[in-house]
Structure 1
Amino acid sequence: MIFLVAAFLLLGVLVGPPAQLPPEVTLSAAAVIAAWLLVFTVRERTRRNRPRS
């Protein structure tokens, strides 16, 4: 039960603010976050696959 309350609280905190913003702002922020995650993923994969010297 506590897990459900925490999940709903977290969902409300994460989804609440974007519901109040215009769609253009929400989509542009989502694009920035997605680009940052893509850059982070590429950097981590290349760092992990690099042979050690």
Structure 2
Amino acid sequence: MIFLVAAFLLLGFLVGTAAHIPLPATFAAAAAIGAWLLVFAVRERKHHRQGS
């Protein structure tokens, strides 16, 4: 859960800096965060299915 909070904080930081960095860098950072959250969600789903 702490990782999810950290991801939201990082996302908020990046949204705040999006006005100051180039658009391709913003998209790259957003894609990296999105991929990380997707991997996290898949791992959590797999973990909960194995636990049942």
Q: Say whether the fold is shared (TM-score over 0.5).
A: yes
Q: Deviations 1:1-52 (Å, cap 9, x if unpaired)?
A: xxxxxxxxxxxx6433111110000000000000000000000000001146
Q: Percent identity?
A: 47
Say which structure, 1 or 2, has more relative contact order (CA 8 Å, 6+ apart): 2
Q: How well do the aligned residues superpose, as a CA RMSD in angstroms?
A: 1.8
TM-score normalized by the length of structure 1: 0.66
Give me the whole-angstrom Cα distance separating, in 2, the residues matched to 1:49 and 1:29: 30
Give me the whole-angstrom Cα distance separating, in 2, the residues matched to 1:41 and 1:28: 20
Give me the whole-angstrom Cα distance separating, in 2, the residues matched to 1:40 and 1:51: 17
TM-score normalized by the length of structure 2: 0.67
Rg bigger for which structure? Answer: 1
Aligned residues: 40
